[in-house]
Structure 1
Amino acid sequence: MSRSLFSIASLLLGSAFLFFAGGLTGMLLPVRGGIEGFSSFNLGLLGTGWAVGYVSGCLLVPQLVTRVGHIRAFSVMAAMACISVLMSSLLVLPYAWIILRALAGFAFAGAAMIVEGWLVERSEPESRGMIFGTYTMVNLFASTAGQMVIAIGSPETFQLFTVACIFYVIALLPTALTKSQAPVPLARAKLNVPRLWKNSPVAVIAVLLTGISNGSFGTLVAVYGHNIGLSVSGVALFVSASILAGAAAQIPIGFLSDMIDRRLVVIVIALVAIASDSMFVTHAPTTTTIAVIYSAIFGAAVYSFYPVLVAHANDHADPSEGLQTSGGLLLLMGCGTMIGPLLGGVLMSVQGPNGLFVSTTMAHIGILLFTIWRMTQRVAVDDEDKGQFVPISPMRTRTPQTILLADGEIAEEELSDDYEGESLASDPLESTPDRADEETEAEKR
């Protein structure tokens, strides 16, 4: 297994730099926007722009990779991310930032998919779980570190923008110079709502509402922290606490959901989430310590919804439809994250900082009531028919390719389909030219 990790070390390193830069910019823009006096509505639109770009990247980047190859496509994604960051430092205007944030979301989704494609290709079935766990922990640590960097810099100046841009460029180097085998075509997911609804209505409604809640919180939590008077370092701790708690909570919650009806687990999570919402609304935190405790409780609940719901949907799905089920829910989650920041921004503009948690309360009450009703309409899955719970990173960076990396059975099915009739060379830089190279050679002849 150590050899497996060593063989993809450069890819993990590149991914770490990518997520470091993403964590930094995700924290920097809302804080700087608040300092510049941007309205909560406009800051919410930053999250909507990111979600639109990210979902678009998940849908369109596989086609780009097919045309120009993985290394060139990754270079394009890194360049687009750099452009978005540098332009954001030059054009400190709300609507310019919204467009640039969409560009960054597209680039980040594409870059993550390409790295994950290599990881799927390079990992053996028996080591894929370890590699996925390592990949998740590396990215979680890197993203959290990027968020914390804002505490030692000055959001009012351009330096932090420059640091983020540098790390996007550094992320390009390990991948561009890798000797890893060029991966098979990237996974493509489709959003088929009628099929998802027939499979699991609870998953459809709850995932959409989870996207609204998590999208609103993920985009505007830094704005909330700034508005209640936390220092820059306090805001960084406030945001990071929710992500780390959300990652840690999935271990016991996943174990519990494998033992009992997953819908009961969803109900318990919803009750905890609503209680956490109420704490923020009725007893707003007045110190950094209280804010961090509130955030950890909130994150432990809300970031556990999605993996439980995905597992529930897969319990009812045919094993051959694993990618389309998980991928469809991923895109549905993306649709929710487009709505959530917009709703949260409007409510914060009208009701002040507490409006953020009014929006999340509405979503969590919806999840609770619909799940309770569905339990009266459908019996639980037998224990022998349940799949295994798979933890999912609380960061908003999951792509269809992540599904293959996380689920060995789905990955083997997809790889066997892609390999059929194909012969891959060992070095993409030497033995397997991209399509553009082939066209150039044809022109010379």
Structure 2
Amino acid sequence: MITIRQLIPISALLLGSAFLLFAGGINGLILPVRGNYEGFSSVSLGLLGTGWALGYVVGCIMTSAMVARVGHVRVFGALCAIAAVSILSSAIVITPWAWITLRGLSGFCFAGTAMIVESWLSERTDPGSRGRVFGVYTMVNLGATTAGFMLLTLGDTTGFLFFALAAIFYCLALVPTALSNTSTPAPMVSVKLNLRALWRNSPVAVFAVFWVGVSNSAFGTLAAVYAQNVGLAVAAVALFTSIPILAGAVMQMPVGLLSDKMDRRKVLVAVAALALVADLAFILLAPEGTTLNYVLAALLGGSIYAMYPVIVAHANDHAEPGTAIQISGGLLLTFGIGSILGPTVAGWAMSEIGIRALFVVTSSAHGVLILYTIWRISRRVAVTGDSKTAFQPLNAGRTSSLQTVKLSQGEAADDGPEKPAVAAG
């Protein structure tokens, strides 16, 4: 257990992160809800997620160089200010292409600010307690994001209020770190995407994480649009988008413990099959009321948001010491590439076929993932229990960064120099 004394030195960082995620929760839900009210097409609303994912991937790649040039505090302050400008501009210029561009800018800012907070946390905690600190950090972020979603139930989403509140909390996020006397951390983690090396290490991980990126980003971006169009009120929409995230957090530990005891690829197939069941239920049952939609959202969220850490753990099972960050960071960027594609395809499908086409896209991604993973199981033996790395719960890709990888892996992040990875399943 982590003590209060251990949390005090990082309290400013945790508070700043909470403000960031609270603002991000408001930002992430007000745009599709308001955009749908303004009559934006499903294609345009899907492109909001594409823009965000593209900005996020670029932010993950570029932030370390920016920090090396001018320092953590200046970059963090600038990114918080730009994020505030972005959401305020969205309230002033209400057009799809302006929002897509601004959403990409907010994704870039979010990636950079998250990496800076996490590099500080990593620096301020010893390797032995990083896992516990990461757990606290994850719970703070989860609570703040959910609170940001639920705030929309308290006012009129057709006005300026929630854009202003998001901007206020983006600005507040820079106050704790600006006033903190915490020493500037060491240079940040930087990882280049090497698909060939990743594929040699684990074809299943690369293939699966791409399709999980497609499905998770499509659902994460357009779930609110689906909920509005089946007749749910704003309060119900906020709950519908919150339930999957909470279910995913609850499911990570039991799924992770199971994957530590058996072939992780089989666990991945089983979890993806549960997601496929939820996808098909959304399509075939066509739920209209809140209860069944909530139940299916919990089943889908508990499945899709538990797959990413299983994939990362599987890829790391055969990795040489010192390559964990390289592999996990590369998978994160591959997830990001899938996240760019998912909302675009799903938005187009919803526009052409109907609102439930969202789940046609996610079910297709899950079906392809299942078939390929089953084939790979037949081609390579499983990793034995003694050779496995320890499972680490992770944010569901979209809210992870290269620094998240380092912070979550504790002592593993401090291993020696990078070495080539050997083949996995």
TM range (shorter): over 0.9
Deviation at 1:189?
1.4
Inter-partner Cα distance in structure 2 for 1:132 and 1:412 = 16
Aligned to 1:54: 56
Aligned to 2:348: 346
Residue identity matched to 1:410: A
Inter-partner Cα distance in structure 1 for 2:177 and 2:46 = 33
Aligned to 1:425: none
Q: Which of 290, 296, 299 matches 2:298?
A: 296
2:159 pairs with 1:152: no
Aligned to 1:18: 20
Aligned to 1:161: 163
Helix, strand or coil at the partner of 1:390: coil
TM value normalised by structure 2: 0.96
1:248-304 CA-partner distances (Å, limit 9, x unpaired): 001110000000000110110111111100100011221112211110000011111
Q: Which of 101, 104, 112 matches 1:102?
A: 104
Q: Which of 302, 305, 325 matches 1:323?
A: 325
Structure with higher Rg: it is 1
2:85 pairs with 1:89: no
Q: Is the 8 A contact 2:64 2:187 kept in 1?
A: yes
Q: Is the 8 A contact 1:241 1:292 kept in 2?
A: yes
1:161-201 CA-partner distances (Å, limit 9, x unpaired): 00000000110100111111110011111111111111110
Inter-partner Cα distance in structure 2 for 1:395 and 1:364 = 16
Aligned to 1:386: 388
Aligned to 2:379: 377
Q: Which of 257, 267, 271 matches 2:259?
A: 257
Deviation at 1:130?
1.3
Q: Structure 1 unaligned runs (5+)?
A: 418-445
Residue identity matched to 1:284: A
Inter-partner Cα distance in structure 2 for 1:47 and 1:167 = 21
Matches within 5 A, 1:206-285: 206-285=208-287
1:329-350 CA-partner distances (Å, limit 9, x unpaired): 0000000000000010011001
Aligned to 1:203: 205
Aligned to 2:42: 40
Inter-partner Cα distance in structure 2 for 1:155 and 1:137 = 27
Aligned to 1:119: 121
Aligned to 1:310: 312
Q: Is the 8 A contact 2:18 2:140 kept in 1?
A: yes
Inter-partner Cα distance in structure 2 for 1:355 and 1:59 = 33
Q: Is the 8 A contact 2:274 2:303 kept in 1?
A: yes
Q: Is the 8 A contact 1:136 1:393 kept in 2?
A: yes
- What percent identity do the matched residue pairs reach? 52
Q: Which of 161, 165, 172 matches 1:170?
A: 172
Q: Is the 8 A contact 2:128 2:411 kept in 1?
A: no
Helix, strand or coil at the partner of 2:379: coil
Inter-partner Cα distance in structure 2 for 1:222 and 1:262 = 32
Deviation at 1:395?
6.7
Q: Which of 334, 337, 361 matches 2:336?
A: 334
Moved more, 49-58 or 404-413: 404-413
Helix, strand or coil at the partner of 1:8: helix
Aligned to 2:422: none
Q: Which of 176, 190, 193 matches 1:191?
A: 193
Inter-partner Cα distance in structure 2 for 1:85 and 1:73 = 19
- Runs of 4+ in structure 1 deviating by more than 3 angstroms, as ranges, are none
Q: Is the 8 A contact 2:214 2:340 kept in 1?
A: yes
Q: Is the 8 A contact 2:322 2:413 kept in 1?
A: no
Q: Is the 8 A contact 1:140 1:395 kept in 2?
A: no
2:414 pairs with 1:406: no
1:341-367 CA-partner distances (Å, limit 9, x unpaired): 001001100111111000001100001
Over the aligned positions, Cα root-mean-square deviation in angstroms equals 1.1
Residue identity matched to 1:101: R
Inter-partner Cα distance in structure 2 for 1:284 and 1:20 = 32
Q: Is the 8 A contact 1:220 1:345 kept in 2?
A: yes
Aligned residue pairs total 416
Residue identity matched to 2:226: Y
Q: Structure 2 unaligned runs (5+)?
A: 419-425
1:374-429 CA-partner distances (Å, limit 9, x unpaired): 01111111111000111112372100000110001233238x99xxxxxxxxxxxx
Inter-partner Cα distance in structure 1 for 2:366 and 2:176 = 42
Helix, strand or coil at the partner of 1:4: helix
TM value normalised by structure 1: 0.92
Helix, strand or coil at the partner of 1:319: coil
Inter-partner Cα distance in structure 2 for 1:198 and 1:130 = 32
Helix, strand or coil at the partner of 1:343: helix
Aligned to 1:30: 32
Q: Is the 8 A contact 2:211 2:365 kept in 1?
A: yes
Aligned to 2:398: 396
Inter-partner Cα distance in structure 1 for 2:134 and 2:181 = 20
